[in-house]
Amino acid sequence: MTWPTYQPLGDQGVLIGYENKIDPGTNEKVRLLSDALEGTGFPWLRVINFSFRCLLVLYDPDMIHYPQVVKAVREIEAQIRSSHTPMADLYEIPTVYGGQHGPDLSRVAEVTGLSPADVTDTFSSTIFTIYFLGFLGAQPYLGGLPKELHVPRLDSPRLHVPRGSVGMGGIQAGVITVDQPSGFNYIGRTFLSLYNPGKVPPTSLKAGDQIIFPSIPEDRIPAFRGKSPIPRRKGSSIEK
C-alpha cells in the first residue's frame, strides 16, 4: 500500500492516513502536512485536525468537490520535505504522585514489578512528546512512555476521573483536561490548568511540544493550582 491514503469522510471531509502505527516519525509527517495546509490559505479549507497517523480536512462543498480537494492536498503533500524540525518547546507539569491523587500507583507497581517509588522516578524523569491535542478540551496524547511502564488499561473504566489526572494505558501516557470516564491507570495528578475555555487558544500546549511531570509534595499544590504549564525551554533558548 502506498501512503498516505485518501478517503472521503462524509460529504465534506477527506481523511488522510499514514502508516498504521503510533510512532514519532509517522506523527511528524502528519504534523508537517497540517502545517503546510494551514499555510496555503485555501478559501475552501474549513477545518484541519489530526491524530497519531491521520489528518482530517473539512472543506466547503459549495466551493470545491472531493476529487479536487484530494488533488490539492496530494500536491501539497508531495512538496513536504522532512526538514530538520526546530527544537521543541519543553514544559513542566508539576504532579503529585500516589495516595488519593494516584489511585493506580500500587497496581502499576504490581504489574511492572517495580516499587512505587521506582514507578514515580521513571515516569517523572521521562520527557514525553505531544502527538496531538484531541478528544475534548485540548487533551494531549503523549508518546515516549518507557517500555517498563507499559501496563494494560483497567478491565472496567472508572466512571469519573478528575481533570489533571496523570497516567498510562498500554503504550500511551496522558493527562486529562476535563473530568471524564477513563480506563487509564492514574498514578498522579496535576493542579495546573491545562484547559481554559475563556482563552483563545484554550491551552498553551501544542502538538510537537515536550512535557515532563516532575514530582512535587502534596503541600506544594497551592503554589501551582490554576497556573499554566511552566515553560522550561522555548525553541532553542534555555530558561532557568
Partner 1 sequence: MRGFKVIHPGMYTTYQDLGRRGFRKYGIPLSGAMDKAALKASNLLVGNPESKAGLEITLQGLKMVALEPLVIAVTGADLQFTINSEYHPPWRSFLLKAGDVVQFRGRKSGLRSYLAVRGGFRAPTFMGSCSVFERCSMGAPLRADNVLEVGDTVTESLGEVCIPEKYIPKSSHQISIRVIMGPQVEAFTPQGIETFLQSTYRVTPQSDRIGYRLDGPRIGHRGRADIISEPVVPGSIQVPNDGQPIALMVDAQVTGGYAKIATAISPDLDLLAQAVPGDTVQFEETDQDGARRARLEQRKLLDWIRNTIPPVG
The correct pick among 78, 159, 200, 238 for binding partner 1 (CB under 8 A) is: 200
Q: x/- site string to partner 1, residues 114 to 153, per CB under 8 A? A: ------------------xxxxxxxx-x------------
Q: Is 44 in the site for partner 1 (CB under 8 A)?
A: no
CB of 106 to partner 1, least distance (A): 27
Task: Name the residue nearer to partner 1 (CB basis): 124 or 203.
Answer: 203
Q: Which of 19, 15, 8, 3 is nearest to 57 (CA)?
A: 15
Q: Is 10 in the site for partner 1 (CB under 8 A)?
A: yes
- Select the span of 16-24, 97-105, 110-118, 229-237 touching partner 1 (CB under 8 A): 16-24
SS3 of the chain: CCCCEEEECCCCEEEEECCCCCCHHHHHHHHHHHHHHHCCCCCCEEEEEECCCEEEEEECCCCCCHHHHHHHHHHHHHHCCCCCCCCCCEEECCEEECHHHCCCHHHHHHHHCCCHHHHHHHHHCCCEEEEEEECCCCEEEEECCCHHHCECCCCCCEEEECCCEEEEEECEEEECCCCEEECCEEEEECCCCCCCCCCCCCCCCCCCCEEECCECCHHHHHHHCCCCCEEEEECCEECC
Q: Is 91 in the site for partner 1 (CB under 8 A)?
A: no
CB of 45 to partner 1, least distance (A): 11
Q: Which residues contact 182 (CB under 8 A, 6 or more apart)?
A: 157, 158, 161, 165, 176
Q: Is 53 in the site for partner 1 (CB under 8 A)?
A: yes
CB of 125 to partner 1, least distance (A): 27
- Select the span of 18-26, 75-83, 154-162, 219-227 touching partner 1 (CB under 8 A): 18-26
CB of 16 to partner 1, least distance (A): 10
Residues in binding contact with partner 1, number by CB under 8 A: 48
Task: Name the residue nearer to partner 1 (CB basis): 56 or 114.
Answer: 56
Q: Is 47 in the site for partner 1 (CB under 8 A)?
A: yes
Q: How many angstroms separate the CA atoms of 26 and 14, rounded?
A: 18
Positions in the binding site for partner 1 (CB under 8 A): 7-13, 15, 17, 20-22, 34, 46-56, 58, 61-62, 65-66, 132-139, 141, 177-178, 195, 197-198, 200-203, 207
